[in-house]
Amino acid sequence: MTIENLTINKSFGGWHKQYSHHSTTLNCKMQFAIYLPPQASNGNKIPVLYWLSGLTCTDENFMQKSGALRIAAELGIAIVAPDTSPRGAEVADDEGYDLGQGASFYVNATQAPWNRHYQMYDYVVQELPKLIESTFPVSAKRAIAGHSMGGHGALTIAMLNPQRYSSVSAFSPISNPMNCPWGQRTFSAYLGKDKASWRNYDASALMQQATQFVPAKVDQGASDDFMIEQLKPEMLSAAAQVSGYPLDLTLHDGYDHSYYFISSFIEDHLRFHAEHFNK
């Protein structure tokens, strides 16, 4: 597969690079960013954290705003951040920020016109890791994390593929999309009216019925304007109690939905993933 290097910047002794490539899964050109820490230059293959960003974001937001690169350089962890959806003039879109380009919700769409391009679940789980592992000095040790819509994606992907990920974490995830306005709008468009098909993309539903566990860490700001109507962390906590899921969910007073929150606790998340990479 041919990839094109778009940018390259040295950071904390490692390299942050952006690439574009044609995705056969999404039927369009895609962009991703990768941070390769200094340890990647010594011949060793290093573990990878896949980061899924939220609504309105691209591959750039987390890499530039989270403060994660310094800790990744210390721990020897590569970070891969894909774009949040397929994009392009030929890709279906909507005027709203919560549907269409930038708002994939990391599902495999089954409904037209979305199903032609919106297969982000398969892209994140299969195509992108195959590309990363065949191109860069990384191992098959993987963890996954995300924020908001991306936190939803990280949790559902990890629980549906417990053999592929050593750990999962999320900031302010959309925990119960079947029962919130964002999820109901997008799932109706991408997946259709049959709500039974929505359950595989609902973190609370998956966690409640889980029998295989991926250690999970979730942080939620108590002053997040979206928490009550859209995020519903209490549903995730209740689901974990039913199944005995190893979920560490912490509510932080005063913090909101922004990158100020993410940057305050990203070190804890990276150390959490490093601990499980080493087990």
Q: Which residues are catalytic?
A: 148, 224, 257
User: What's the alpha-carbon Rg for the chain, to the nearest Å?
Assistant: 17
Q: Is-above-0.95 flag for pTM?
A: yes
* Amino acid making up residue 79: I
Number of domains in the chain: 1
| pLDDT tens-digit map of 73-116 | 999 999 999 999 999 999 999 999 999 999 999 999 999 999 99
Structure tokens at 14: 């490692």
Q: What whole-number distance in Å separates Cα of residue 254 and Cα of residue 250?
A: 13
CA 272 from chain centre, in angstroms, equals 16
| pLDDT tens-digit map of 174-196 | 999 999 999 999 999 999 999 99
pLDDT at residue 230 greater than cutoff 80: yes
Q: What is the pLDDT of residue 68?
A: 98
| pLDDT tens-digit map of 62-75 | 999 999 999 999 99
- 80's enclosing H/E stretch is strand 78-82
Q: What whole-number distance in Å separates Cα of residue 170 and Cα of residue 191?
A: 24
Q: What whole-number distance in Å separates Cα of residue 259 and Cα of residue 254?
A: 14
Q: For the chain, what is the mean pLDDT? A: 97
pLDDT range class, residue 55, cuts 50, 70, 90? very high
Residue 199 lies in domain: 3-277
Q: What is the pLDDT of residue 43?
A: 80
Label each residue of 22-80 as H, E or C.
EECCCCEEEEEEEEECHHHHCCCCEEEEEEECCCCCCCHHHHHHCCHHHHHHHHCCEEE
Structure tokens at 155: 């949790």
Query: Given the structure tokens 């340890």, which residue do they identify?
Result: 39
The sheet carrying 78-82 orders its strands as 3-11, 14-23, 28-36, 78-82, 46-52, 138-147, 168-171, 216-221, 247-252
Rounded (5°) CA angle 178-227-72: 100
φ/ψ of 50, rounded to 5, equals -90, 125
* Amino acid making up residue 58: T
> Cβ atoms within 10 A of the Cβ of 146, count?
31
pLDDT at residue 1 greater than cutoff 90: no
Q: What is the pLDDT of residue 279?
A: 87
* Residue closest to 151 by CA, chosen among 165, 126, 163, 168: 168
Q: Helices marked H in 89-180 — which ranges?
A: 120-122, 128-135, 149-160
- 218's enclosing H/E stretch is strand 216-221
pLDDT range class, residue 44, cuts 50, 70, 90? confident
pLDDT range class, residue 147, cuts 50, 70, 90? very high
| pLDDT tens-digit map of 2-39 | 899 999 999 999 999 999 999 999 999 999 999 999 99
| pLDDT tens-digit map of 256-271 | 999 999 999 999 999 9
Neighbouring-strand partners of residue 8 = 17
CATH code where residue 241 lies: 3.40.50.1820
Percentage of residues in the chain having pLDDT higher than 70: 100
Structure tokens at 252: 């932080």
